[in-house]
Amino acid sequence: MAALPGVTDVFVIGGGPAGLAAAIAARRRGFDVTLADCAEPPIDKACGEGVMPDGIAAARALGIDLSAAGGQPFRGICFHEGGASVEAPFPNGFGLGLRRTALHRLLVDCAAEAGVRLVWDARISGLDPRGVLANDRLVRAQWTIGADGGQSSVRRWAGLDACRRDSRRYGFRRHYRVAPWSEFMEIHWGDGCQLYITPVSASEICGVLISGDPRLRLEDALPQFPRVAHRLAANPSTRERGGVSTTRVLRSVWRGRVALCGDASGSVDAITGEGLCLLFRQAVSLAGALAAGDLRLYRAAHRRIGRRPAFMAGLMLLLGSSPRLRGRAIRAMATQPRLFAQMLAMHVGELSPIDFATNGLALGWQMLTI
């Protein structure tokens, strides 16, 4: 572990995937970069552990090969609703089921190889016009990046807490010692909740329940999904871990020489599975803005990057809130699988908004005729 320097070009607060990605991107732009976190690696978090193809491509743009961490590829997405189901492969590439701790180890190694100064078990107590207060002393920094998660202290210190939208749901994750039974990530729609099944190795799957009820746990919800419950019975390999899935849109993601990245900068509901793609793309854009010396460039890019995931999150949350609408939509897509394939293509950025609008009209007509 490195020691805190007296001076650095870029100081990144937060050592999760967002902070590590931002640090790697800035370092590749030639900055002297210091990253600090109060924890020590590997850092875990309750998440679905599925990376979409566009997330894999976004990581590759940073020089990161996610497959080097192992994991289990999956071909596409499958929706299950009662007795109906529909599936489609990704139009290009594959997704990757990857344990969060394995992802974190890989990113730490990539950051170290890039020359990022990594300081773990560090106490960050505030910002200063000249830099960052860390371990009771000032570290001078030209730029400061807050990547310290959804409850970001940096966001509060910088006066960036004002939101346009702020809502939350709750997720609970557990791993099961079961060989994957499908080449697809599965999303099972239940009463006010979704159950995600993601293969993370040849002998293990990740199960995540997301709902608006903080008291609804995996074991309580599994009876809604008897086919899955039967496969998972008596095979848990880890303890249940909980987290919050937040939809948050900030009024601004930068002020002065401070910028926010990852969940600190706002987030979309985890229902999309796009969190990692977002933070990798944000990291590249932020590093470009730092190199240009103009964080206004990052503000514009941040809005553009979040537009499609926010739209898809809204669409999927609408399906989640209306069992009747959801049932008709999934039955319609099961009748015409091409419609679901086009929706998936839009989800991973392989279909234009105009083509997706046409697809939406076709889906609406199909729903009216079933």
Q: In terms of domains, do 204 and 175 share one?
A: yes
- The total of structural domains in the chain comes to 3
Q: In terms of domains, do 340 and 224 share one?
A: no
Is residue 351 over pLDDT 90?
no
pLDDT in tens, 75-88: 999 999 988 899 99
Give the percent of the chain with pLDDT over 90: 76
Domain boundary among 244, 267, 294: 244
Give me the pLDDT at residue 1, please: 67
Give me the pLDDT at residue 271, please: 85
Q: Which CATH number belongs to the domain containing residue 210 in this structure?
A: 3.30.70
Distance, in Å, from the CA atom of 270 to the CA atom of 49, rounded to the nearest integer, reads: 11
Give me the pLDDT at residue 362, please: 52
CA torsion, points 221, 346, 249, 146, in degrees to nearest 10? 90
Tokens (6 digits) for 244? 């919050």
Q: What is the 3-state secondary structure (H, E, C) of 3-55?
A: CCCCEEEEEEECCCHHHHHHHHHHHHCCCCEEEECCCCCCCCCCCCCEECHHH
Domain boundary among 273, 294, 314: 314
Q: Within its chain, how far is the Cα of 349 from the centroid?
A: 15
Kindly report the average pLDDT of the chain as a whole number: 92
Q: In terms of domains, do 124 and 209 share one?
A: no
Instruction: Judge whether 129 lies within some domain.
Output: yes
Domain boundary among 244, 270, 301: 244
Distance, in Å, from the CA atom of 231 to the CA atom of 159, rounded to the nearest integer, reads: 48
Q: Got the DSSP string for 77-95? A: EEEEETTEEEEEE-SSS-E
Q: In terms of domains, do 198 and 330 share one?
A: no
Instruction: Judge whether 78 lies within some domain.
Output: no
Domain limits at 330?
A: 322-369
Q: Which CATH number belongs to the domain containing residue 266 in this structure?
A: 3.50.50.60
Instruction: Judge whether 70 lies within some domain.
Output: no
Instruction: Judge whether 235 lies within some domain.
Output: yes
Is residue 61 over pLDDT 60?
yes
Q: In terms of domains, do 277 and 192 share one?
A: no
Q: In terms of domains, do 223 and 262 share one?
A: no
pLDDT in tens, 280-339: 999 999 999 999 999 999 999 999 999 999 988 888 889 888 888 898 889 888 888 888
Residue 211: φ, ψ to 5°: -155, 175
pLDDT in tens, 64-110: 999 999 999 999 999 999 888 999 999 999 999 999 999 999 999 99
Give me the pLDDT at residue 263, please: 96
Instruction: Judge whether 57 lies within some domain.
Output: no
Q: In terms of domains, do 214 and 146 share one?
A: no
Q: In terms of domains, do 279 and 359 share one?
A: no
Is residue 39 over pLDDT 90?
yes
Q: In terms of domains, do 341 and 303 share one?
A: no
pLDDT in tens, 137-160: 999 999 999 999 999 999 999 999
Tokens (6 digits) for 82? 């009662």
Range of weakest confidence among 91-100, 174-183, 250-259, 270-279: 270-279
Parallel, antiparallel or unpaired: strands 254-255 and 7-13: unpaired
Is residue 220 over pLDDT 70?
yes
Q: In terms of domains, do 210 and 146 share one?
A: no
Instruction: Judge whether 77 lies within some domain.
Output: no
Is residue 352 over pLDDT 70?
no
Instruction: Judge whether 175 lies within some domain.
Output: yes
Give me the pLDDT at residue 365, please: 45
Q: How confident is the model at residue 124 (pLDDT cuts 50, 70, 90)?
A: very high
Q: In terms of domains, do 108 and 41 share one?
A: yes
Instruction: Judge whether 63 lies within some domain.
Output: no
Q: In terms of domains, do 352 and 240 share one?
A: no
